[in-house]
Structure 1
Amino acid sequence: MAGSTTGSGSSPATDDVSDAVGGDDPARGARDSPDRAVARRRVRDRVERRALTALAVATVGLLLVVFYYPVATVFIDAVVVDGRVTLRVFADIFRDPFYFGELARLLSGVPPATVLASLLSSDPRLGIVGFTVYQALLSTVASVALGLPAAYLLARYEFPGRRMLRSLTILPFVLPSIMVAVGFVATFGDRGTLNAVLGAVGLGPVDLLFTLEAVVIAHAFYNAPLVARVTTAAWESVDASAVETARSLGASPLRAFRDVVAPQIVPAVLMGATLTFVFTFGTFPIVLALGGFQLATVEVFVYRLIRDLNYAQAAALAIVELGISLGVLYGYLRYEARHSVRARGVRPLPRRPLRPPALSVRELLPRVGLAAYAVVALVLFVAPIASMLYASVAGPDGLTLAHYRFLLERQTTGAAFQVQPWPAVRNSLAFGVASLLVALPMGVVVAVLTTREYRGRKIVDAVGMAPLSVSGIVVGLGLLRGLVFGVEVAGWRFAVSGALAIVAAHAVAGYPFVVRTVAPGLEGLDPSLVESARALGASRVRALVDVELPLVWPGVVAGAAFAFAISIGEFSATIVLATGTNQYTMPIAIERFIGRRLGPATAMGVVLLVVTSVSFVVIDRLGGDSYGL
């Protein structure tokens, strides 16, 4: 009996260790398993202790390869010409009136007073850079003008659907710009829905395509919700007790708004305006589709120089663009550091019902203004998408599926050099999944690094979020000139395919949004949760995986949806890297179709909308309010 007990009475832990050892001899397994278990535990603990550091090093290394090195390549192309370091390319650009208009004459010795008089004339020469600044300023004014009423509505009034409407302000980060351009062509084109409505009421047609007005309106479609979102968040953080105190001291509602509310929302408005200016200054798909080369911005002309193989001038012009954008951002950050007012209270201003039982004249006027704004917003924000959907099934004789049949026929009978729908869809989905697998872990690691207290945290944050300030054209050009063309290291030449370069560009564009959705959740966690896990013996990585990430999982899912959606709609870097290859995506296919036949372009736009909408549903249902954009 004793022998039987000894042979079968080993503990479950010992049995598990023995199984893990995998030996055939039970006696040897029993003899070796405790030592091996201790050794394995030590190795596991050592790996876990260093895992976060290893992940951080891997992320930094990947960023160096797929972002910083390509961008550095662009800088080198601009200052190294024919093997010699020179600033001649920059000098030629600054002296060329084609780029800087009247300001270029300053470097030619023309008196400043003469240049100023020319700039103030009825028809000043602005040049490519000057026109880009001009259209960005107009787009910023339009976006702020359309975004502020929306912020006022969302922050100050309560009504059914308010939360859903607030969620829809995330659309600029999800909808591909080239798809929106198709919607604007379907709305404001010669045969668009706007002219159809005007003709039905006896008014003449309006020709908005390939005009500055169309570009500004399209930019407002994208950026007005951004202004509304950041301003609404600031408005909702205003301390109601401070307003009540001002009113109790005799201040009128207008005076209380000016002295208490305005100082807290002005920095948010300026942040929205600054981001709008930067985004529209580096605009590309909207101008290319709605303005063409006759309204070329710096970004469009950089693409044209790349297509003409003029890499040195393209790189120099891209650096000039980047310098202006970073200068504007730096100016805003300096202002924010000096003038921003942090919310001190926890009780927000109460929202009024949008449809109260009784209305006075004083309460009626703002609601009438909001009703007029709703009509404008309906035309601007809903009509392009609705027009695209309608144009995809509209024909000369009524509703038809001919445009979708054309896509299917192009798939089977199109020439080899023509864009075919299925490869475009397949490539978009493949690039989206691949870039997600890269961007998600990168974003989570950077989010962890930027939410820990240590010296140099701000530098890590700036380095990690730098891709947000660099245009896709610059990243695409750098990847093309660097990794795709090949790099020589110790006599060996390393090069990547166009597909890998596209995945890298998409991951670089998407991972900052993962950071922005995960970091706020990590910062809001109770530190005692992690401390308890560490006190119980969990390593730093184990605490992150088992405690922190499950608690911020909605933010992780939202970040994943952002990364996937951004990859699906990315256009700027993709068109640089896919030119001359068969790696075109749905946005590239739409751009090719839109210049020839609107019907197939709208049909492909609907396909892209369906794919993108899946990501938006994931964000809205699983991400909820956890994302911090």
Structure 2
Amino acid sequence: MRALRSAADRVDGHLLTALALATSAVLVTTFYYPVGTVLIEAVVVDGAVTGSVFAAVLRDPFYFGEIARLFAGESPAAVARALLSPDRRIGIVGFTAYQAALSTIASVALGLPAAYLLARFEFPGRRTVRSLTIVPFVLPSIMVAVGFVATFGQRGTLNAALRAVGLPAIDLMFSLEAVVIAHAFYNAPLVARVTTAAWESVDARAVETARSLGAGPVRAFYDVVAPQVYPAVLTGAALTFVFTFGTFPIVLALGGFELATVEVFVYRLARDLQYAEAAALAILELGISLAVLLAYLRYEADTAVQSRGVEPLPRRSLRPATASVRELLPRVGLAAYAAVAALIFLAPIGSMILASVTGGDGALTLEHYRFLAARQRTAAAFQVRPWPAIRNSLGFAIASTLIALPMGVVVAVLTTRRYRGRKLVDAAAMAPLAVSGIVVGLGLLRGLVFGVEFAGWRIAASGAVAIVVAHAVAGYPFVVRTVAPGLEGLDRSLVESARALGASRVRALRDVELPLVWPGVVAGAAFAFAISIGEFTATVVLATGADAYTMPIAIERFIGRRLGPATAMGVVLLVVTGCSFVVIERLGGESRGL
């Protein structure tokens, strides 16, 4: 018996190492190898190593504008003069960075007031509103595109309201403004969430000390509160830039090819079988995104704030006790912000729901839902049917969550331990956030789906398996970002006490650490599930068979024919996605991660 217990202890002691190796093997097989096989197309052409494709992309003004002249050998002074000229060209890469910068500014401008409201004021439903701040970030992009068409299109609700009051209609569709507003819809809640968490970590005692030393409210804010809040703002801005730099469905749906970004052209080149040029362009996109992501990870590590023992700033009621200007002014500003936020955040969802129950004559009807029911009964084998799309989305989401959750927890444990190379492990683990979904999907298609020769055996998988893998890779970084802050903030003496009493490393993790960070684990699972439900970019590459399409793919195919059925399918997808976040509210509580 003692020998068996000793053997069990040895196995338990090495279990974490085994889990880390297993996670690494999964990442190498399902992410790094497929991505590598695609990216290597840029430097290996017809079996020979060459830099000609990569150099051609760098020197092409279509992609880099005036900067391409610098790669072509012209002097920096001549390039600088060209950049300052009125008819300068910025190229596809320059435009992608430009729209990402505008989207980041808009997201921060919209997210900061929301963070101020949630962190500094108390009102009924505040906790629910805080939980819902992340819902737009994981809503399916194609569904949001449908909502924006229903709101800002020529026959949308905004123009209907303008015409009702005698104002001229506006046309925002297929414009840069529509793309920026849609990106702000996605990312402003993310900025608000991370900034709110930082604001709630400010110690009220430090502010009181500053006030007692003679600092006024403004001086105390700039000297005590702002230095602890602005790192979170920069974090949200960096993540926003990475996400919007690699944007695909929003630009494709609301901007078209006239406002195409790098990601759109990677997809277009891959679709046209121009793999070498697509790979070279993807490498450049990856380099820019990874540079921003690495800067974010380094900055996050350097500015990590421990909230243990913090006395949060007291929240004020939205109903002022006095009618003074000082009490009323912030609330008037918040009321104006609420009107703008309602137009950007609530109108697209409300317009989509309204369009799903409205006919061409404006009368209420259920004809769009009846169309989906009829399509389920009478559609041909090659046509999209609602129930298989719903079933596939739920099945893929459950399977990918079961893969992403343990992977994310293991990586969170590894990245919160003190050892040399920890930052490198963190950066490598977070790489899926920066890599194009098109590249991941294409790599899995050409490798896992088409088959790989290994030791005389041909290993291949179905498109459904590849979709599950792609969704798990996309979702597990969010598990890491929700679990890691909780592990980082734990009282290490609790773990040390468990170890001193004979618990192995895995036993201490299982019995002490994970129960204490359980809200973050549950939140991470909800993130992985919701991201899988709404994933479109990699799925559109992998869903080649008639039986592997999901709800976002169904919406994309419906929207090309009739907006009504697309909005009805979008409502179904909205209900499924929203239900996953009830888990955060009811079981997970408030997590300090994403």
Aligned to 2:486: 521
Task: State the 1:313 CA deviation.
Answer: 1.0
- 1:95 is the counterpart of 2:59: yes
CA deviations over 1:31-53 (Å, ceiling 9, x no partner): xxxxxx56654554443333322
- 1:290 is the counterpart of 2:254: yes
| Cα distance in 2, alignment partners of residues 345 and 40 from structure 1 | 43
Aligned to 2:156: 192
Q: Over aligned residue pairs, what C-alpha RMSD do you find?
A: 2.5
Unaligned runs of 5+ in 1: 1-36
**Which of 265, 273, 287 is 2:237 aligned to?**
273
Stretch deviating more after TM superposition (360-369 or 524-533)? 524-533
**Which of 8, 11, 16 is 1:52 aligned to?**
16
User: Helix, strand or coil: the match of 1:508?
Assistant: helix
- 1:212 is the counterpart of 2:212: no
| Cα distance in 1, alignment partners of residues 552 and 528 from structure 2 | 16
User: Helix, strand or coil: the match of 1:203?
Assistant: coil
- 1:469 is the counterpart of 2:440: no
| Cα distance in 2, alignment partners of residues 246 and 480 from structure 1 | 59
Change over 3 Å in CA distance of 1:558–1:471 after alignment to 2: same
Change over 3 Å in CA distance of 1:178–1:349 after alignment to 2: same
| Cα distance in 2, alignment partners of residues 441 and 608 from structure 1 | 26
| Cα distance in 2, alignment partners of residues 288 and 85 from structure 1 | 34
Task: State the 1:331 CA deviation.
Answer: 4.1
- 1:590 is the counterpart of 2:555: yes
Task: State the 1:525 CA deviation.
Answer: 4.3
Unaligned runs of 5+ in 2: none
Task: State the 1:524 CA deviation.
Answer: 4.2
Task: State the 1:339 CA deviation.
Answer: 7.7
User: Helix, strand or coil: the match of 2:403?
Assistant: helix
Aligned to 1:235: 199
Tell me the amino acid that sits aligned with residue 503 of structure 1. Answer: V
| Cα distance in 1, alignment partners of residues 537 and 524 from structure 2 | 21
Higher CA-based Rg: 1
Aligned to 2:377: 412
Tell me the amino acid that sits aligned with residue 288 of structure 1. Answer: L
- 1:134 is the counterpart of 2:104: no
Change over 3 Å in CA distance of 1:309–1:266 after alignment to 2: same
Aligned to 2:396: 431
> 8 Å contact 1:404–1:600 — kept in the other structure?
yes
Change over 3 Å in CA distance of 1:352–1:582 after alignment to 2: same
Change over 3 Å in CA distance of 1:533–1:141 after alignment to 2: closer
| Cα distance in 2, alignment partners of residues 526 and 341 from structure 1 | 14
Change over 3 Å in CA distance of 1:534–1:413 after alignment to 2: same
| Cα distance in 1, alignment partners of residues 20 and 582 from structure 2 | 31
Aligned to 2:534: 569
- 1:258 is the counterpart of 2:183: no
Aligned to 1:375: 339
Aligned to 2:364: 399
Trace 1:237-386 onto structure 2 (pairs within 5 A).
Answer: 237-332=201-296, 346-386=310-350
Change over 3 Å in CA distance of 1:541–1:256 after alignment to 2: closer
| Cα distance in 2, alignment partners of residues 143 and 339 from structure 1 | 22
Change over 3 Å in CA distance of 1:612–1:332 after alignment to 2: closer
Task: State the 1:445 CA deviation.
Answer: 2.0
Task: State the 1:203 CA deviation.
Answer: 1.3
Task: State the 1:283 CA deviation.
Answer: 0.6
> 8 Å contact 2:381–2:546 — kept in the other structure?
no
* TM-score normalised by L of structure 1: 0.88
Aligned to 1:26: none
| Cα distance in 2, alignment partners of residues 111 and 54 from structure 1 | 54
| Cα distance in 1, alignment partners of residues 491 and 79 from structure 2 | 60
| Cα distance in 2, alignment partners of residues 63 and 369 from structure 1 | 47
- 1:559 is the counterpart of 2:485: no
> 8 Å contact 1:476–1:577 — kept in the other structure?
yes
User: Helix, strand or coil: the match of 1:273?
Assistant: helix
Tell me the amino acid that sits aligned with residue 600 of structure 1. Answer: P
Task: State the 1:195 CA deviation.
Answer: 0.9
Trace 1:399-548 onto structure 2 (pairs within 5 A).
Answer: 399-527=364-492, 529-531=494-496, 533-534=498-499, 538-548=503-513
CA deviations over 1:368-415 (Å, ceiling 9, x no partner): 211111100111111111111111111134111111111122222223
Tell me the amino acid that sits aligned with residue 431 of structure 2. Answer: A
User: Helix, strand or coil: the match of 1:383?
Assistant: helix
| Cα distance in 2, alignment partners of residues 291 and 500 from structure 1 | 32
Tell me the amino acid that sits aligned with residue 196 of structure 1. Answer: A
Task: State the 1:89 CA deviation.
Answer: 1.1
Trace 1:59-138 onto structure 2 (pairs within 5 A).
Answer: 59-138=23-102
> 8 Å contact 1:263–1:341 — kept in the other structure?
no
Task: State the 1:275 CA deviation.
Answer: 1.1
User: Helix, strand or coil: the match of 2:139?
Assistant: coil
CA deviations over 1:18-64 (Å, ceiling 9, x no partner): xxxxxxxxxxxxxxxxxxx5665455444333332222221111111
Task: State the 1:227 CA deviation.
Answer: 1.3
| Cα distance in 2, alignment partners of residues 351 and 619 from structure 1 | 23
| Cα distance in 2, alignment partners of residues 264 and 557 from structure 1 | 27
User: Helix, strand or coil: the match of 1:582?
Assistant: coil
Stretch deviating more after TM superposition (579-588 or 242-251)? 242-251
Task: State the 1:561 CA deviation.
Answer: 1.6
**Which of 579, 601, 606 is 2:571 aligned to?**
606
* TM-score normalised by L of structure 2: 0.93
User: Helix, strand or coil: the match of 2:171?
Assistant: coil
Tell me the amino acid that sits aligned with residue 282 of structure 1. Answer: G
> 8 Å contact 1:428–1:568 — kept in the other structure?
yes
Stretch deviating more after TM superposition (268-277 or 161-170)? 161-170
> 8 Å contact 1:174–1:616 — kept in the other structure?
no
Change over 3 Å in CA distance of 1:117–1:343 after alignment to 2: farther
Stretch deviating more after TM superposition (189-198 or 436-445)? 436-445
| Cα distance in 2, alignment partners of residues 283 and 300 from structure 1 | 8
User: Helix, strand or coil: the match of 1:602?
Assistant: helix
Stretch deviating more after TM superposition (521-530 or 265-274)? 521-530
Change over 3 Å in CA distance of 1:338–1:558 after alignment to 2: closer
| Cα distance in 2, alignment partners of residues 247 and 544 from structure 1 | 42
User: Helix, strand or coil: the match of 1:395?
Assistant: coil
Q: Percent identity?
A: 79
| Cα distance in 1, alignment partners of residues 282 and 452 from structure 2 | 22
User: Helix, strand or coil: the match of 1:488?
Assistant: strand
Change over 3 Å in CA distance of 1:346–1:540 after alignment to 2: closer
User: Helix, strand or coil: the match of 2:429?
Assistant: helix
Tell me the amino acid that sits aligned with residue 325 of structure 1. Answer: S
| Cα distance in 2, alignment partners of residues 42 and 247 from structure 1 | 59
| Cα distance in 1, alignment partners of residues 515 and 537 from structure 2 | 35
> 8 Å contact 1:274–1:332 — kept in the other structure?
yes
| Cα distance in 2, alignment partners of residues 361 and 547 from structure 1 | 50
Change over 3 Å in CA distance of 1:539–1:272 after alignment to 2: closer
Aligned to 1:160: 124
Task: State the 1:347 CA deviation.
Answer: 3.1
Tell me the amino acid that sits aligned with residue 570 of structure 2. Answer: G
> 8 Å contact 1:558–1:627 — kept in the other structure?
no
Aligned to 1:181: 145
Aligned to 1:9: none
Stretch deviating more after TM superposition (608-617 or 405-414)? 405-414
Task: State the 1:627 CA deviation.
Answer: 5.3
Change over 3 Å in CA distance of 1:283–1:377 after alignment to 2: same
User: Helix, strand or coil: the match of 2:453?
Assistant: strand
Change over 3 Å in CA distance of 1:582–1:524 after alignment to 2: same
Task: State the 1:583 CA deviation.
Answer: 1.3
